Structure 1
Amino acid sequence: MKKVMRKELLAKRDGLTEEEILHKSASAFQQLKSSSAYSNANNVMVYLAFRNEVSTEEMIKDLFNRGKRVFIPLTVPETKQLIISELLDMEKDLEIGNFGVLEPIEGAIRPVDPQILDLVIVPGVGFDPQGYRVGYGGGYYDRFLPRLAPNTPTVALAFEVQLIEEAPTDEYDFPVEYVVTEKQFMDCKKNRQ
């Protein structure tokens, strides 16, 4: 069921033009930027967009301009774990890594304890109103999110075409607190009550 849903959602997202992605990404970022979760955060983990995901490039520039610390995920396929590494320079620190995603080059891996993060931006293929996600199938974020400090806000950035009624879940699925699209800021905690 999840595989079929993932394929359908990826096809919808892949149907967006480059112009739509840029425009909708900017709108989603504006929604996020006006939230206290964003403005109050000092140590922010951000994914680096690939395959028509909501772009995070402007957000990373904005965080740097505000003097915030930016962290990015580094995948470890052998253990399906994420290492959290501080990003200091978008030009010099990155190369294409696992799965075709930008990751830190060897000399720029600066691991930190996930407990220092005070905002985590989560990628995904699809999201439901309760914050459950259809990911890429590796389970990296479901393993990672429980390692955060208890009150760390988790935000999924998505396009409206990625919203679904209900994601198939199992005991290991870990929901995000908020889903932000180009049109809305959804409080998933309220929807889970």
Structure 2
Amino acid sequence: MIKAELRKKYMQKRKALSVDEAFSLSERILEAFLDYFKPVAGQKVHIFTPIRKFNEIDTKIFIHAFLEKNIRVFVPKVIAEDLISVEINEDTLFETSNWGIEEPVSNEDSGEHYFDYVITPLLYGDHKGNRVGYGKGFYDAFFQSISPASKKIGINYFSPDEPIDDVWENDIPLDYLVTPTEVLSFFNGLE
């Protein structure tokens, strides 16, 4: 299927989830992430904050778990046309952007270019690590600005069951996809 069709299909599937279902699936995705990657104190995680109206995965539980483990947490903030990375802690103040995204009040870019894990929002990811987002291209640009050694990890409620037919040459694939039931690795077509 092409991205526009997949975007529509998976947005509808996501919106059909109840609040309780979405939270339960979010917890299972967090457990799968922690079991597979085993993040430790001092590592750096870049993670998005959820857009509630799109019923996104509840990454606040991820953030809380990371901060409890003394893992450094960074979240995106859009300023003009750029996505910057702001380091946060338990005391960070947030405000809701025009897009309905909770972002730090601070506009201070951390300047970090290497993250152990970049947990990436998406509507759909296929078996090759290709992803369908909201179509704005922020994460493709962000991926180009960070170290290629940073692990790009998509998280999704749904396992891949169909290919993305219109992958573009500037699209940067994920390294991993974590769902409530599996962790897929896309390195050299292995796993």
- TM-score, normalising length from structure 2? 0.90
Q: What residue in structure 2 maps to residue 115 of structure 1?
A: 113
State the shift of 1:83 in Å.
Answer: 0.6
Q: Which of residues 53, 57, 65 is equivalent to 1:54? A: 57
Cα offsets for 1:42-99 (capped at 9, x unmatched): 11111001221111111111111111111000113x42x2111111236x51111141
State the shift of 1:38 in Å.
Answer: 3.0
The alignment's C-alpha RMSD in Å is 2.0
Q: Which of residues 147, 166, 170 is equivalent to 2:163? A: 166
Residue-pair matches, total: 187
Q: Percent same amino acid among aligned pairs?
A: 26
2:78 partner amino acid = T
Residues 1:71 and 2:71 aligned together = no
Q: What residue in structure 2 maps to residue 97 of structure 1?
A: 97
How does 1:151-190 map onto structure 2 within 5 Å?
151-160=149-158, 163-167=160-164, 168-190=166-188
| SS in structure 2 of the partner of residue 116 of structure 1 | coil
State the shift of 1:149 in Å.
Answer: 1.2
State the shift of 1:189 in Å.
Answer: 2.0
Alpha-carbon distance between aligned partners in 1 of 2:49 and 2:185, rounded to the nearest angstrom: 23
State the shift of 1:165 in Å.
Answer: 1.7
- CA 174–65 in structure 1, closer or farther in 2 if over 3 Å, else same: same
- CA 49–28 in structure 1, closer or farther in 2 if over 3 Å, else same: same
Q: Residues 42 and 72 of structure 2 are in contact (CA less than 8 Å); yes or no, is this contact kept in structure 1?
A: no
Gaps of 5+ in 1: none
Gaps of 5+ in 2: none
2:132 partner amino acid = V
Q: What residue in structure 2 maps to residue 34 of structure 1?
A: 35
